[in-house]
Structure 1
């Protein structure tokens, strides 16, 4: 599973050099279009690239978001976030045509000078670190279950491979670290297309397995790690809720923001689009976000209708309990694990590059800096994955801070600073709404999450 949502850097890494070259050799005009090139990505492939950049690990947390807000509440919030994501892309494309700038960081510098570029760089690095930690968390939670599903023995609670943290450290040191150390890892970029297929397969499995688990859920189940879990589900809990308001609802919008973030890939995709124009690229983004919305909603709905109020914050964990040896669940779990192993180094690559640029500027390549920055970043990510108890904390904190800034606050703020439109114009009012919405949503969600941690350590 490309679980690249969220930072979407596998696409950006693979195509960065070629995209930059295309933008530099294709002057952006002031009339809302770009000079036509004889070669470029087709409309269909651009939609696919954008969906590949959007969809990622956030899909595992959306069923939990639905269980926290209700079906109707979830629909309203998902439509709101998807619509604002498409509108913020509209503002970025307008700024791209107006200024000729083709990177998010340079737009920040244009709007707020050096501090703006630094803020965007820090946000992207933090977003990537959060995304990598969510992927490693998936490794920690799913790898023991994957091993268990291939074994004939029933009691694996005392086995060394039942400890997800130990497996995570071994896999990180033996596989992720060597790949991340490579100065160029473009060959891994080709896995992104296959990863997108895994996401589609994941959604299909969620739909199919809704009828494989009865409700009320079975009592007294044993998890793959040997721990005992009792389900108190009653018939009344098998009725889907339309609206739910609780402390857990604070995780909903940040998880959705985490899931729809693709803005660092928008301008590179725009640069490569065949016969590029703002209207054509806006259609690409609208279709890509719309199709991603459909996949997100279907997987969240059927995941919720499978477990109802007992949905895990990472959806696959529920299948570990009730379908531990199911063939379809096992295959999708293995596919996710393989994809994660190849995606983390890809996301690490632009994160390390951004850190080096922020700290050392455009100096020549240095192995000492390369190795040191790699070790520090992976160590931070590994510690987060080991000690964070729940993946919803990653979605909640990163989604309410970095994702909110990159998705809502920065596009609106940059438009207000750069555009020459009057403040009473439609887009200026919309940009102001993005800034206010992103700021308020981020502060409220983060505050509730922190208070929840304090009350329930």
Structure 2
């Protein structure tokens, strides 16, 4: 009986026959061999793949198993993967680049991200894999696997940090809004204490769960919270005067001095400081401009989620998934642009690196803002455990892939990751630094460098002199320049600000 006949009859071959077949692996129940693009890998690499994928035989020949998620739901899932805390920093980026510069950068980063998804999907089709880390291993061995795993880990730690920053900044304001009174240093109004309490009481128990369905959290609540946030930002633009009340007196005095000086010299009246403070800038360049590109790249990173969503897409093909990405990116582009524009036009040069926190300047207690703060807090708090799962999985697979599951190791890794993230949130001064550093490093790797590097190495049917390969090489070079340039400028800014 041939192996094909045995497979059709679900007959288990003898151990010698199975072990001699270098292009097949056997599932957990030692049933019929499964033809797979992972054939010939050593057991450790097979262990690197999630167990549920092997058990469900996801990777049969050419991974032709059908997904069951509709186009609309896939676009919704990818939109959720794109949308994150980065939206809170976009008004700060616009204030430090100007409206026209910001729009150009936003369009460029969105298009670059879509192009990198195109490269990623084409590479996945060529290799027959929907695992980001496996693409890295297939392309460059352990170095590629480590680069992919490390970039995803850094990106997710950055995302976790940004979420916990929101808890640190916004939860004290929510509590103060409900209890009232003066903030005289009460422990329950200290953001450092609160972020640790929330991490231990809410996030840690959820993070200790052994398994969690990928993208199972995408119930739409997080996205709806951000839509609500956008509506409030647009609405509050008409309610908050310019200049802010705390700045109005100083600007009025400056305006009076300008008028008196002009009158004494019989000179024409100069531009009013008040009008200048409330005038949108088209182009801006200052020391904070260097954070704009990293913030934008951080906001558009969704690449670790693209391949799992592609795997579950109904009637799956590359063109259909690219259309899912196009729809999702266009929706997020519109949301990002509106949030950045109306946030900037509300506070102009006074906008802070976390937009919600800026409203404290003018609205100490506002019921609508309290509600939107609470909604965003709940959304980001419940998202932290989901972001932590892939980091822990990468650590487990990098260092403990050959070992069976152990609750003590599982809990220790979880506590270590959560503790490290809390230390970042407590000791790193601003969320801007997290957006900047992660956006310039891990986000640049996931958007620019890794997809193009995998494509150049693994898509062998296209010659190196082809237009597609040349485009990928240029994209890779641009990514390296963006990463090195952004990191260098950010480090220079840190050094400059650290000087007494």
TM-score normalised according to structure 2 size: 0.81
Q: Do residues 151 (structure 1) and 191 (structure 2) align?
A: no
Q: Label 1:187 to 1:338 Cα distance change in 2 as closer, same or farther (>3 A).
A: farther
| Aligned equivalents of 1:21, 1:316: Cα separation in 2 | 45
Aligned partner of 2:58 in structure 1 is 24
Which of the residues 60, 74, 80 maps onto 2:102?
A: 74
Q: State the 1:136 CA deviation.
A: 0.8
Aligned partner of 2:365 in structure 1 is 325
Indicate conservation of the 8 Å contact 1:124/1:402, yes or no.
yes
Indicate conservation of the 8 Å contact 1:215/1:235, yes or no.
no
Q: Do residues 355 (structure 1) and 395 (structure 2) align?
A: yes
Which of the residues 176, 196, 206 maps onto 2:203?
A: 176
| Aligned equivalents of 2:247, 2:190: Cα separation in 1 | 22
| Aligned equivalents of 1:423, 1:119: Cα separation in 2 | 23
| Aligned equivalents of 1:439, 1:323: Cα separation in 2 | 43
Which of the residues 293, 312, 321 maps onto 2:333?
A: 293
Aligned positions of 1:32-431 closer than 5 A: 35=64, 37=66, 40-153=68-181, 155-186=182-213, 189-190=216-217, 192-219=219-246, 234-420=274-460, 421-431=462-472
Indicate conservation of the 8 Å contact 2:172/2:191, yes or no.
yes
Q: Label 1:437 to 1:453 Cα distance change in 2 as closer, same or farther (>3 A).
A: same
| Aligned equivalents of 1:188, 1:268: Cα separation in 2 | 9
Q: What do the CA deviations read for 1:281-314 (whole angstroms, capped 9, x no partner)?
A: 1111111111111111110010010111111100
Q: Label 1:172 to 1:442 Cα distance change in 2 as closer, same or farther (>3 A).
A: same
Q: State the 1:50 CA deviation.
A: 0.8
Q: Label 1:20 to 1:429 Cα distance change in 2 as closer, same or farther (>3 A).
A: farther
Question: Any unmatched runs of 5+ in structure 1?
Answer: 1-15, 29-33, 222-230
Q: What do the CA deviations read for 1:417-452 (whole angstroms, capped 9, x no partner)?
A: 112212232221221122111111111111111111
- Root mean square deviation, CA, Å: 2.1
Aligned partner of 2:7 in structure 1 is none
Indicate conservation of the 8 Å contact 1:311/1:318, yes or no.
yes
Indicate conservation of the 8 Å contact 2:217/2:386, yes or no.
no
Indicate conservation of the 8 Å contact 2:77/2:218, yes or no.
no
Indicate conservation of the 8 Å contact 2:294/2:439, yes or no.
yes
Which structure exhibits the higher relative contact order, with contacts defined as CA atoms closer than 8 Å and separated by 6 or more residues? 1
Q: State the 1:26 CA deviation.
A: 5.9
Q: State the 1:177 CA deviation.
A: 1.8
Q: State the 1:161 CA deviation.
A: 2.1
Q: State the 1:346 CA deviation.
A: 1.2
Q: State the 1:350 CA deviation.
A: 1.3
Q: What do the CA deviations read for 1:334-356 (whole angstroms, capped 9, x no partner)?
A: 01111122111111111111111
Q: State the 1:362 CA deviation.
A: 3.9
Q: State the 1:241 CA deviation.
A: 0.7
- Please identify, of 407-416 and 323-332, the stretch whose mean Cα deviation from structure 2 is larger: 323-332
Indicate conservation of the 8 Å contact 2:92/2:351, yes or no.
yes
| Aligned equivalents of 1:149, 1:325: Cα separation in 2 | 6
Q: Label 1:200 to 1:362 Cα distance change in 2 as closer, same or farther (>3 A).
A: farther
| Aligned equivalents of 1:285, 1:430: Cα separation in 2 | 20
TM-score normalised according to structure 1 size: 0.89
Q: Label 1:23 to 1:187 Cα distance change in 2 as closer, same or farther (>3 A).
A: closer
Q: What do the CA deviations read for 1:247-292 (whole angstroms, capped 9, x no partner)?
A: 2111111111111111111111111111111111111111111111
Q: Do residues 456 (structure 1) and 470 (structure 2) align?
A: no
Greater radius of gyration (CA) = 2
| Aligned equivalents of 2:214, 2:123: Cα separation in 1 | 32
| Aligned equivalents of 1:103, 1:152: Cα separation in 2 | 50
Q: State the 1:107 CA deviation.
A: 0.6
| Aligned equivalents of 2:101, 2:281: Cα separation in 1 | 9
Q: Label 1:273 to 1:188 Cα distance change in 2 as closer, same or farther (>3 A).
A: closer
| Aligned equivalents of 1:18, 1:430: Cα separation in 2 | 36
Q: State the 1:27 CA deviation.
A: 4.2
